[in-house]
Structure 1
Amino acid sequence: MPFQLRHGDLTETPADALVNAANERLAPGGGVCGAIFEAAGPAELDAACRAVAPCPTGSAVATPAFRLPVGHVIHAVGPRWQDGRHGERELLASAYRSALAVASSLGDRSVAFPLISAGIYGMPRETALEVATEAITGYLADTDDSLEVSLVLLDEPAALRRTLPPGLTAYLAEQGVDVGSSPDLDRSMASGDTGAFFPQAAPAMPQAAPCATPRDAAVPPKRRHSVKDLLSRRLASLDKGFSDTLLDLIDERGLADSAVYHRANMSRQHFSKIRSNPDYRPGKPTVLALAVALELPLAQAETLLARAGYAFSPSSAADVIVRWFIEEGRYDIFDINEALYAYDQRFLGA
């Protein structure tokens, strides 16, 4: 299911399909639309668009991508902003859902969108982003959770900071976190949850009492066996691992797997690896995503992190951001990821 925000040039975003913010006539335009036509080959794409035009507002249609390094261009028509009382939000959500339905019907597994209607069509960027997030994540949860979707924004990530909860900004300042240096969620970890792993320390072994036997006396075999038995008992009493702890928490809450991985912004395939492998070693973003998905209070989130060998770091902007949302009881992972994006941090889940 993963959905993520990106910053950059839509035409250079790796995906099976790119979405064009189109007009009803599917005619070449400015901004993102103009860039897509230019990159695809203006004459070829214009001819293909004329063959399938018009496309009503709230709908989408596909054409070949020509020179673009993707399979298709999907043209989605968003509404012009009037005052927010003329069905603009509903029409914009329909444009996103229609584009995703077209992508699914064509067999595309990854799709990259611009922020539709937020340019010359005049929709406030905060509103456009909110509608885009709700429409995309809703479609993925209800219809096709195997798609990977990127929303490519032209603005620098820091531009989103003004839309974040004021309490988060104050909390970061109180914690003395240097957000300018952008410490990441375990940069050593690859997105596929491989790499460095920091296991929990085993419980300390008790020290044996000093032996009164003369130095040259042999240690009785019985004593050696008792040490082995003690070690076995200690190992058997270790805390459960990450996978077992996670599955216990899911069962306690009576949640279906699909609800968990949707809330965690994870693919079904990724979650299946965790469920099927008791020794699975997750990356820190995965653990935090699942803690959010399960709506764990801070103490339980810390325990789940510890089971995977991690802890919240007071010097990491990403950790402090996630901790604030958990302490506030705000468990929408897409709100959290928006905040992480604004501070140039790695996302949870995706």
Structure 2
Amino acid sequence: MPLQIVENDITEMRVDAIVNAANNSLLGGGGVDGCIHRAAGKGLLAECRKLGGCETGKVKVTAGYDLPCKYVIHAVGPRWFGGKQGEPALLRSCYLNALEAARERGCESIAFPLISSGIFGCPKQIALRIAVDAIRDFLAENEMLVCLVIYNRSEFPLEDGLRRDIAKYINDSFLTDTTDTEELSACAPTGAAPGRFAYEDEARFVRGGKARRRLPRLKPKASLRGAERFASADAESAPDEAAEEKSAMFPPMFDYAPAISLEEALKQIDESFSEMLLRKIDESGMTDAECYKKANVDRKLFSKIRSDRLYKPSKTTAVAFALALELPIAEVREMLMKAGFALSRSNKFDIIVEYFINHGNYNIYEINEALFAFDQKLIGA
């Protein structure tokens, strides 16, 4: 199952287990720790008193009490002293130990805060990177829905330089799209309805804001026009002969194919999204599991796609598989088209995805971080 980044209060997450960013005593404190103890009620503190504390990097498990979860997994993250005293390894251990404790108890879903990123002083960007990397490695071998819970989206630690670059790319894309539309609108005749054909001259037309070329009209040669007049003048004396001559000179514009049944027409449908996906997986050398895990998609959804050649995925799912396969932008567009979608320069989600593809970055976790920061739907999850 996938990794989701969600904006929420972790005490309201309806999952099998939530993780508490605890201190060594397990007796409550500030930040997330204090919120969880207050929401769970006195029973949580009473059980924690019996646990005898917890070492840094390790976890202890209690019941959820008044929280909407079965378990609270107390993970003790390290205090940050510049990252040179083993803090990254200890922080990674918190995530892996908590995930393993959840797996052992049959949990199908778990929610984490950004451990050690509060009063323990770990820089949020580093805390995020360690969290995502640890969760990704666990999900490569296991099936579980993992939620990384951010209390306030505005404080999400997307790297400042990346945030500025994406914001500029979005702005430039919107400006380009607007400029193109204005230029094309100027070419349309006065009063032309938007989205309709508006003829400018014999060689151009505008539809939906895009100019296209039109084939020039074919004019009959002078000799043919003369032959036509001759045939008309002589029609009374030889009507059948004139008609045959005219028919030979001016054959039908279209050669109509015989009608076919609906069943026969459906057999001529092009390669579907599902068929293209499976073909590309085979060509890539990946296994099915490697592909759907890389796409941040769960096994059940992939099974549905695999078993139905006409399966209609959501746009985020279609994009997820295109990214997992690391397709070039032309093939990304082709795969989306087969699912009934397209990438638009006037859609923020599409522009962000295009930004990463154009920069050769197909890491869905990193793309999702950017999508979350810009308040867009996540890929795959």
The match for 1:139 is 138
Give yes or no for contact 2:275–2:309 (8 Å, CA) kept in 1: yes
Give the SS at the match of 2:57.
coil
Give the SS at the match of 2:140.
helix
**Cα offset, 1:170, TM superposition:** 2.0
Give the SS at the match of 2:62.
strand
Give the SS at the match of 2:258.
helix
TM-score by length of 2: 0.75
Give the SS at the match of 1:175.
helix
**Cα offset, 1:328, TM superposition:** 1.3
**Cα offset, 1:52, TM superposition:** 1.7
For 1:89-168, list aligned pairs within 5 A: 89-142=88-141, 144=142, 146-157=143-154, 159-163=156-160, 165=162, 166-168=164-166
Q: Distance in 2 between matches of 1:155 and 1:286?
A: 26
Give the SS at the match of 1:227.
coil
The match for 1:217 is none
**Cα offset, 1:7, TM superposition:** 1.3
Is 1:303 matched with 2:334? yes
The match for 1:35 is 35
Q: Distance in 2 between matches of 1:17 and 1:150?
A: 10
The match for 2:170 is 172
Give yes or no for contact 1:157–1:344 (8 Å, CA) kept in 2: no
Is 1:5 matched with 2:5? yes
Q: Distance in 2 between matches of 1:339 and 1:224?
A: 53
- Which amino acid is the alignment partner of residue 26 of structure 1? L
**Cα offset, 1:76, TM superposition:** 0.6
Gaps of 5+ in 2: 176-242, 244-254
- Which amino acid is the alignment partner of residue 20 of structure 1? N
Give yes or no for contact 1:297–1:329 (8 Å, CA) kept in 2: no
Choose from 259, 282, 286 the match for 1:227: 259
The match for 2:194 is none
Give the SS at the match of 1:83.
coil
For 1:66-77, list aligned pairs within 5 A: 66-77=65-76
Give yes or no for contact 2:58–2:93 (8 Å, CA) kept in 1: yes
The match for 1:202 is none
Q: Distance in 1 between matches of 2:67 and 2:57?
A: 24
The match for 1:83 is 82
Q: Distance in 2 between matches of 1:306 and 1:325?
A: 20
**Cα offset, 1:25, TM superposition:** 1.5
Give yes or no for contact 1:157–1:341 (8 Å, CA) kept in 2: no
Give yes or no for contact 1:158–1:343 (8 Å, CA) kept in 2: no
Is 1:341 matched with 2:341? no
Give yes or no for contact 2:20–2:72 (8 Å, CA) kept in 1: yes
Q: Matched residue pairs, number?
A: 302
Give yes or no for contact 1:164–1:339 (8 Å, CA) kept in 2: no
* Cα deviation 1:77-107 (Å, max 9, x = unaligned): 1100001111111100100010011111111
| Bigger radius of gyration | 2
The match for 1:193 is none
Give yes or no for contact 2:13–2:69 (8 Å, CA) kept in 1: no
Q: Distance in 1 between matches of 2:153 and 2:284?
A: 39
Give yes or no for contact 2:281–2:325 (8 Å, CA) kept in 1: yes
**Cα offset, 1:48, TM superposition:** 0.7
Give yes or no for contact 2:5–2:148 (8 Å, CA) kept in 1: yes
For 1:159-238, list aligned pairs within 5 A: 159-163=156-160, 165=162, 166-176=164-174, 226-228=258-260, 235-238=266-269
Give yes or no for contact 2:26–2:48 (8 Å, CA) kept in 1: yes
Give yes or no for contact 2:349–2:377 (8 Å, CA) kept in 1: yes
Gaps of 5+ in 1: 178-211, 213-222
The match for 1:47 is 46
How much identity, in percent, do the aligned residues show?
44
Is 1:65 matched with 2:64? yes
Q: Distance in 1 between matches of 2:158 and 2:24?
A: 33
Give yes or no for contact 1:92–1:131 (8 Å, CA) kept in 2: yes
* Cα deviation 1:193-237 (Å, max 9, x = unaligned): xxxxxxxxxxxxxxxxxxx9xxxxxxxxxx9993227x8776544
Give the SS at the match of 1:246.
helix
Are the structure 2 counterparts of residues 244 and 114 from structure 1 closer, same or farther at C-alpha, using a change threshold of 3 Å? same
For 1:263-342, list aligned pairs within 5 A: 263-342=294-373
CA RMSD of aligned residues (A): 2.0
- Which amino acid is the alignment partner of residue 149 of structure 2? V
**Cα offset, 1:327, TM superposition:** 1.5
Give the SS at the match of 1:287.
helix
Give the SS at the match of 2:20.
strand
Give the SS at the match of 1:226.
coil
* Cα deviation 1:276-329 (Å, max 9, x = unaligned): 111211000000000000000100000000111110021110011011111211
Q: Distance in 2 between matches of 1:330 and 1:322?
A: 10
**Cα offset, 1:16, TM superposition:** 1.0
Which of the pair has the greater relative contact order for Cα pairs under 8 Å at 6+ separation? Answer: 1
Q: Distance in 1 between matches of 2:90 and 2:77?
A: 7
